[in-house]
Amino acid sequence: MKKNTFLLLPLLVLLISLGLDRLFTLEFFQYYYSNTLSHLNFISKEDLYSDLKEYLKKDPASRKKIIVFFGNSRALLLPNRELEKRHPDWILYNFSVPGGSPDYFLYWIERFKSDGTRPDFVLLDQSLEIYNKTPVLALDEVLIHGLSSEFILRHWTKYSREELSVFISKHLFHTYRDRPKLWRISERMQNSSALAKVYKAAVQEILTALKEERGSTPRELVNQKHTDEQLVQASETDFSSYLKPYTFHTNMFEMQRDSIRILKEYNVPYATIWVKVARPYFNLYMTRKVETSEGLKTPMEVWKPIVEKFNQETGTAFWNMNEDPNCNCEEFADPGHMSPNCFPVFGDYIFKKLEETFPKTHTK
């Protein structure tokens, strides 16, 4: 037996490595090396869900109606408190996150089903980018911050080996996930950790704002508006990063289908939405041919027939902001994101659609 004790050495090294990894990535040390705040959107959703469940325990006759929005960064800035004043029959719970995708939506909808959580309406994002399996610039924030190991185990066939590898490695080793830089740690340690304190204060400010706005990010933190010339240039870059080439992600679409199947089974009204993008970017959707599994096509030629067929087969309402003449706010922070100035208009669009679904005679 003693002769084989050397076989325990790799396990010992792994355990020591994991212990050091967890030590170096404690919340206290994160203030010295973290350079992002986007992960806070994921962290805050647990408190948001607790708040949602508590509110839904109230007598339906005495509470407002609840809409839950599962979206991505294009929906983060919806001004919930402001919209609540203008649309007093409804409360919006914003479960949107950076890079929000159908697997993240399904993760939460399965939890809703398991817990018996029934909002009055669910809105699901249905944009082109979330269904591209081969982007040059892949977004993995949902995979890293938004999904549980149990969810991945149940749906592992929907992910590639590369995606599974990313999930396992970055969940095991948080230093690999966070990539702390020594120069940044050194910088934040200077002047009695002044910069670390600034970052810590920003974290607390954002978490407080996310709680107060029921999942939405403060609009003042975002660039107000790109010029037309900037939008044209940036649209070329974004298109090449996210849509060239374009390989439709069938597995991701199946997870969207699963979410909608669950909602239909539990009689929760729902719709899908295609959030508006800048016109130069939209024009590239329509005209720029790229490599696809079906040869040279535009992303729209691949995506739209699949979505339209799905909508027809399932009776799914599709709120198409990009081709709706009533959506006339044309300010954009970048090609894929409306300016903060447009988000009140965006919110009004959602509630107008809700009023069409639930006429006033059926609301309190």
pLDDT reported for residue 362: 44
In whole angstroms, give the CA distance from residue 319 to residue 156. 31
Structural domains of the chain, count: 1
Task: Give the structural domain span for 56.
Answer: 13-357
Domain assignment present for residue 84? The answer is yes
Domain assignment present for residue 363? The answer is no
150: tokens are: 């149990």
b/e burial code for range 95-122 (CB count within 10 A of at least 16 → b): bbbbbbbbbbbbbbbbebbeeebebbbb
Q: What is the CATH number of the domain that holds 84?
A: 3.40.50.1110
Domain assignment present for residue 4? The answer is no
278: tokens are: 């800048």
Give the number of other CB atoms < 10 A from CB of residue 45: 22
Contact indicator for 121, 270 with CB cutoff of 8 Å: yes
Backbone angles phi, psi at 132, to 5 degrees: -95, 115
Domain assignment present for residue 88? The answer is yes
pLDDT reported for residue 179: 87
114: tokens are: 């398991």
Q: Prior bond to 245 cis, omega within 30? A: yes
pLDDT reported for residue 218: 80
Domain assignment present for residue 69? The answer is yes
Domain assignment present for residue 95? The answer is yes
Q: Could you tell me which residues come within 8 angstroms of residue 295 by beta carbon, excluding any fewer than 6 positions away?
A: none
Domain assignment present for residue 7? The answer is no
Q: Could you tell me which residues come within 8 angstroms of residue 298 by beta carbon, excluding any fewer than 6 positions away?
A: 285, 286, 287, 288, 289, 290
pLDDT reported for residue 363: 42
Mean pLDDT by 10 residues, the chain (364 residues): 64 76 77 86 96 94 95 95 93 96 98 96 96 91 94 95 92 84 90 91 92 88 76 95 96 97 96 97 97 95 97 96 91 93 94 86 43
